[in-house]
Structure 1
Amino acid sequence: MHPLPWLHPERVALLEAALRERILVIDGAMGTMIQRHGLQEADYRGERFADGHDSTRELPAGGGRELRGNNDLLLLTRPDVVAGIHAAYLDAGADLVETNTFNATALSQADYGLEHLAYELNREGARIARECCAAAEAAEPSRPRFVIGVLGPTSRTASISPDVNDPGFRNTSFDELRGVYREAIEGLLDGGADTLMVETVFDTLNAKAALFAIEEAFEARGGRVPVMVSGTITDASGRTLSGQTAEAFHASIAHARPLSVGLNCALGARDLRPHVETLARVADCHVSTHPNAGLPNAFGGYDETPEETAAVLREFAEAGLLNLVGGCCGTTPDHIRAIAGAVAGLPPRRLPSAPAVAA
């Protein structure tokens, strides 16, 4: 067991109680929903970054680079858009919403010349999600909602060279990743995240740096929140980009004693089935999955309907594989509503140490 106490024991108790009772629903894609708004460069810049500088800190912002597509920045310039998406997923039946902080590390924000915003983006991401959950709880007091503080994989990889002609080259290091993750974690915790999720893990060394930084942050605060980990099986090989099977991935992160381990992104639910089955067999924690809406079509879009996605994930639930389920790329509130309906009333996967409970 972890020696540190919970930072928010009442929230953890609510989450653990809900996990014992039913399969919990995670929200769907943030980027897919942002794209539907048709936002332009001016939306991403807002007043604060309109002239290429951060008007609140007199620092360069973007250096002439286009900021459109930096979805995390909308937390500061169009928080109404982000809050609206959270609200739509909560209304669709999500129990947990993920912060819009997938690229909110200094490493990833450096692509836009905005690395100085990392802490602020994470704090605001958690704060906005927390406010949306509080509003949903006020409307339905018997059903708590939770904020997952998202830690994405960054735009760098510690295990693989980005230069095919120089396989020994690395464009980041464990210590650099540890530092940028620590900054993001502090923001997420200060903003009110109920849990932290190291997600879309394609390089387990990156994930280990995040988990190390999480433990450092917990130690400094004298308390912890639950930690979730979700990896990505990149193709039909059944391995992560850094070469691990689902079982090996689990073995690599089990020392962190996460609340849950799971898989998301890259593949649709049907293709993830054997790998989720593996996790359900070996993991002594909860198992999650939030797959894409199938595989992308020739134009990069996703064609799998809410009903199709939900039907496959119901099969997962009926087989006793799931504790948490949601959607990734291409999924919408309609997908989450269908998924929530599909798993409603089905018992959650029983943890190996837990006694059997009649359905």
Structure 2
Amino acid sequence: MAASSACADIKDCQSCTNSSWSCHWCDFDDACHAVGSIYGCAFGVECYNIDRCMRTTPEPAGDLPPPATVLALVITFSILAFCCFSCCLLVGWNVKKAYIDLLPYKPPPNPNEMKKEDLSTKLFEMSTAATNWASSLTNSEKKRRKSRGPSLDLGEDLDYDLALVENDQNQAIAEANRPDSPTPQTPPSSSSSPLNSPPPSHPVHCLWRCCWGIYALALVLIVVVSTLTLGLWPHYPEYNMCSDELDWGSIVSGMESLKPQASFQLLASIYNPNYLNLFVNQGSGVLRHGNDNVGILDFGENVEIRGNSITDVLITATFIPSEWETLSLSAEYYAGTLEFMVDATVTVGIPALGYTGSSEWKNYLIKIGGSYDDRSLCACQNW
């Protein structure tokens, strides 16, 4: 019990291994347990100072440009869409113009014509008034003549009546010949008149405004779709195995101790060139040397891979010492020719899209040692 308590108080792997032979580090909970404890593990992992080259936080690395093929397709699509919508707008303009040309000519109201109509009305009113006045005057004259008796001079009465009529005609002519009287004008011919445009509230104008609105919306949509396509085009993450010579030296030393089974933590750097964060919900695989399985891999659970960043993760590798010894992998390591092939299945989630899917790696090559190993994503790029 005292040994279990003492082991549990140790917080890092290297101190756990160096403290006592009765303590070992368990990878399932990253804690130190007493050997044989029911709360621990059957076999502890080999410890080495892997933290010295591990990023504690994701390192921003920017994004990747879209492939040239995708860029060409997006540009082509944008140009074709712009031309199509522009042609549709041009057709709408011609239809509107043809519709207006087919409308009958309706000249705009002429102020002079309006004055002429007002003058005609005034003349009619004056003529009516003159007629009524003449009629009343004639009746008065008749009464006067009746009271005085028949006149012997018929010419006098006739001259008087003619004078009344002539007076009315002279007044009408004088009114028509006033200086401010409008001069009749000939209406313009339809050939020389402007297009007879319907009022702004006419359906053809409403339809034309709708066409313009759709055209503007289409242009905005083309820009947005093209930008999102180029900016959010998905890329496959890139990987590097970043355990260096010291790390693999510790692994090889552990394998040469001929333990029944040994687990090690391998450092991997994963570059996510996409804008959206990824989550490795779970993942596992096998390590092969040629056609022989020499170990298994565990990628852990709920590992976040930040977007546009390089994230360092620890992968637990459990090797089979008997296969290691049979295949003389230690000799290949010292010769600098050790290689592994990885076959793995990883469940990946994209929370922003509500997406969860599985991805398979087949024949992913890991080269161990020196110039053969791609370490461009690693924090420590020297072997």
Q: TM-score range by the shorter chain?
A: under 0.3
TM-score, normalised relative to structure 1: 0.22
Normalising by structure 2, report the TM-score: 0.21
Q: Whose strand fraction is larger, Structure 1's or Structure 2's?
A: 2
The structure that has the greater radius of gyration is: 2
